Structure 1
Amino acid sequence: MRAYQEEALEKILSFACDQIPAYRHLRSVVARFRPFDALQEFPLLDKETLQSDMSGYLPRDFDRIPHHECSTGGTSGNQLRFFLDDQSQSIEMAFMHLQWARVGYTPGCRKATFRGVEFRSVSDRIYWQPNPVYNELQFSPFHMNEATLDRYLHKLGQYRPRFIHGYPSAISLLADFITRNRLKTGIRLQLDAVLLASEGILPGQRELIEEAFSTRVYSWYGHSERVVLAGECEKSPAYHHFPDYGILEIIDDNGNVLQKEGEPGEIVGTGLINRSLPLIRYRTGDKARMLGHECACGRSFDRFDQVEGRWRQEFVIGKTGSRISLAALNMHGPLFDHIVRYQYYQKRAGELQLRVMVSSGFTALEKKALQEAYARKTGSELSVEVKTVEDIPLTSRGKLRRLVQNLQTGPSFSEI
């Protein structure tokens, strides 16, 4: 695997030096050093640098590479637009299926999902929709409360999935309901595993979910930019990085690569599967603790745990008292093309204001389209008003509050 990794890294570094303006001056470095040594001569790349000089990081043959535009999920309130090869989605899914196979998943397995997709036909009593493409039944995370969870549980009992997949915040809400009402409902699900995605797992949630569903929790680490992907194994909840997906580094506050097991630092990745915008030594902004390679599963991959960063769980309160994760509200793409910064503000349950700082190209039609997109997502449970503002102040530490709530009860301010 090391030989494959070296070869793949040499190709991506050579491609970058030949094609990308920001790296042309490093051509002699790549020619002179072995790939992993050459990599250390490349500068660290952060989101702000990429945003301010995107043209400097696009390859000369950009238009010849089949690609599509993407954006980050906007957890910082400031989205990054970038590009991925068209084939990268199928490669990504292959890696996902490979790691899910560690807990018995195959593409033919029946799955129930709790994620923030668009729900077009949710009614007062039906909070799910089929998705035959992925052989799954999608459950709305926007309508989960004490009055509706019984219907969710009964539908799960009828559907009989082998796996549940979704946000820890939504699934733990259902797990808590099951724990409190197990004797009343009599419903027993036969699950192979619960697959948790898109949010960090809070203390106690893993144990709560495993006890409620009588199965193991499986989680993984990844992001839209596709430079690092790591999943748990059969024996450990530590994240095992896929060496053929990207190159993982963990650095200290001074940018030095950490070598000692147990040291905390920032996750840095170099992607191996995307040429339309190769990200080399890309700073993810996420913190983790580096672990040794040895594991009882037998894989000698780079490992880490204790991830902190973009995965925090934050909630807004719906009309019926449902706790709606910001991960479920997450939206990105062309709708945010002219939005510089945004922030959620909630004063009353069931009502949410999206405050946006916009560029000169923002139109009334874009504002209307954004508001309609949120309405399609949340239905009657949450009314979202889009409001343009001149400024969204940062905290004294220069951080952006993604959510500000002035409710009498509910979550307090959370900083990103």
Structure 2
Amino acid sequence: MRKIYHALPYPARNIIGGLYGSLPQKIKYGPEYAKMYKLLNESANWSQDEIHDYQIKQLRNLLIHAHETTRFYNRQFNEAGFNPYKFNNLDDLSLIPTIDKEVIRNNLSDMLSDKFSNRQRFQITTGGTTGRQLIFYAQKQLTIPREKAMYDYLWGEVGYIPGKSEMVVLRNNVLPDNKLWRYEKKNRSLVLDPFHMTDEVCHKFINKLNKEKIPFFHVYPSSILMLAEYMNRTGDRLTYKPLAIFATSENLYKGQREIIENAFGCRMYMSYGHSEMCSLANGCALEDHYHIEELYGYTELLDKNRDVINDSGIMGEITATGFNNYVLPLIRYRTADYASYEECVKTKCGFKGRILKDIEGRWLQEMLVTSQGNKISMTAINFHSDVFDRVKYYQFYQNTPGLVTMRIVKGKDYTIDDEVAIKSAVQSKLGEYLKMDIQYVNEVRRAASGKYRYIISELD
């Protein structure tokens, strides 16, 4: 049904989307959405002991399921001498070896639960911050409804009404026919195309926003920053005050929050999460830190020796076990993101749970520059597509505005058909003012730190 819907002409899709959008959230997203939303409301006043008991129960159920229904975890637990049936202490998780993207790639078939058929799961492709995509699976009618309930609840804390409030979306949507915006009735959202943000386009965005006066924004930080910098530089302002800006998927650098909030006159709320949906931390309404959402999954910080960090102020890798996917259990999944704990007693917001600060994500605000001088964020270009299935690594190189080279390390069975598909997919996002060619290489360049970068730019 989803494929049929997206294949329809826009007018027909919007009529159907309007009817669908008018339905209550619990009908649109099913019983798991309703259950999770109810649980979030009920748990608002739980003590830390009650949260701890909930996590123990969720983890025990997941660990037993993984041991009984997957070859990978059955083998892993047995080799580690770990007994999931006796699990009753969070510290016991440290007995289980960690996993990462490479482990998933090499063991995907063994990690899938044999309790679910192909019709009960769906495939997800992550863009990948190493220039290499990750394919994994999630559980139909459970993973996404619970995810949706979580964000609806968190956004609701600052006035957003699920299913009723309108939202401006400024993320990675490529609109057809050079449209700058499109209203999607299904989600009550005004979608802005971020790939053509010259001063002229930003002015048109401002005029449209002033006409519609939509109170909430869902954005990538780099995209909203480009609009905010234009507003502050030119004095071309909104004539109304939005209620909140919700930002995800990229780092926010020092000073950028002030630029954005000064331009829009409202608070920007950052959330930490990832495509694998194992850990979630929501930006505080009062301070620049993140509250770990403990009902979403169990989050740990590990040092370079992969020992658990419990003290505040020590940076560690965010490692998580998600509660909402039994098709492909991800247990102690190392995310390649880093953060430290902040002591609750030193905060002013009153949150009593665990708090993260100084999150250093994989998603940098790397930019390509068009011949018109506007910037395109790498996060916006990020692909969740099968066109890269036979690509080992890819990276962009730019030394001239308007021109970019995509460097590709070929994978097994790569053909000219893959090249054609990649050119078409990427160019559709880059637009007419940024032309791309492909260069085949044996390896991709890394930064001086040894870290992988999506974009190697020699522009000033």
Which residue number in structure 2 is paired with residue 207 of structure 1?
Answer: 258
Contact in 2 for aligned 1:102/1:234 (Cα 8 Å): no
User: Aligned pair 1:194/2:250, yes or no?
Assistant: no
Q: Judging changes above 3 Å, is the alpha-carbon distance between structure 1 residues 329 and 227 closer, same or farther for their aligned structure 2 residues?
A: same
Deviation track 1:314-359 (CA, whole Å, cap 9, x = no partner) reads 1010120001110111112211111111111113211222221122
Which residue number in structure 2 is paired with residue 414 of structure 1?
Answer: none
User: Aligned pair 1:94/2:144, yes or no?
Assistant: no
Q: Judging changes above 3 Å, is the alpha-carbon distance between structure 1 residues 289 and 37 closer, same or farther for their aligned structure 2 residues?
A: closer
Alignment of 1:12-411 (within 5 A): 12-25=62-75, 26=77, 29-63=83-117, 66-87=120-141, 88-107=143-162, 108-122=164-178, 126-182=179-235, 185=236, 187-293=238-344, 296-394=348-446, 398-407=450-459, 409=460
Contact in 2 for aligned 1:344/1:402 (Cα 8 Å): yes
Q: What is the identity, as a one-letter code, of the residue corresponding to 1:255? A: R
Q: Distance in 1 between matches of 2:293 and 2:227?
A: 32
User: Partner of 2:421: helix, strand, or coil?
Assistant: helix
Q: Distance in 1 between matches of 2:180 and 2:342?
A: 42
Identity in percent: 32
Q: Tell me how far 1:62 sits from its aligned partner.
A: 4.2
State the aligned residue count.
Answer: 403
Q: What is the identity, as a one-letter code, of the residue corresponding to 1:170? A: S
Contact in 1 for aligned 2:237/2:263 (Cα 8 Å): no
Contact in 1 for aligned 2:173/2:192 (Cα 8 Å): no
Q: What is the identity, as a one-letter code, of the residue corresponding to 2:140? A: D
Q: What is the identity, as a one-letter code, of the residue corresponding to 1:172? A: L
Which residue number in structure 1 is paired with residue 60 of structure 2?
Answer: 10
Q: Which runs of 5+ in 2 are unaligned?
A: 1-50
Q: Tell me how far 1:394 sits from its aligned partner.
A: 4.4
Deviation track 1:104-152 (CA, whole Å, cap 9, x = no partner) reads 1123212112111221122xxx521222221111112111123332112
Contact in 2 for aligned 1:50/1:57 (Cα 8 Å): yes
* Stretch of structure 1 that moved more, 219-228 or 130-139: 130-139
Q: Distance in 2 between matches of 1:266 and 1:252?
A: 7
Q: Tell me how far 1:264 sits from its aligned partner.
A: 1.4
Q: Distance in 1 between matches of 2:83 and 2:56?
A: 15
User: Partner of 2:451: helix, strand, or coil?
Assistant: coil
Q: Distance in 2 between matches of 1:388 and 1:275?
A: 39
Q: Distance in 2 between matches of 1:212 and 1:62?
A: 49
User: Partner of 1:98: helix, strand, or coil?
Assistant: helix
Q: Judging changes above 3 Å, is the alpha-carbon distance between structure 1 residues 355 and 62 closer, same or farther for their aligned structure 2 residues?
A: farther
Contact in 2 for aligned 1:29/1:41 (Cα 8 Å): no
Q: Distance in 1 between matches of 2:238 and 2:151?
A: 30
Contact in 2 for aligned 1:339/1:359 (Cα 8 Å): yes
Q: What is the identity, as a one-letter code, of the residue corresponding to 1:342? A: Y
Q: Judging changes above 3 Å, is the alpha-carbon distance between structure 1 residues 387 and 189 closer, same or farther for their aligned structure 2 residues?
A: farther
Contact in 1 for aligned 2:245/2:267 (Cα 8 Å): yes
Deviation track 1:344-402 (CA, whole Å, cap 9, x = no partner) reads 11132112222211223223222212211223223213223334333334467653332
Q: Tell me how far 1:72 sits from its aligned partner.
A: 1.9
Q: What is the identity, as a one-letter code, of the residue corresponding to 1:371? A: K
Q: Judging changes above 3 Å, is the alpha-carbon distance between structure 1 residues 142 and 215 closer, same or farther for their aligned structure 2 residues?
A: same
Contact in 1 for aligned 2:248/2:273 (Cα 8 Å): no
Q: What is the identity, as a one-letter code, of the residue corresponding to 1:378? A: L
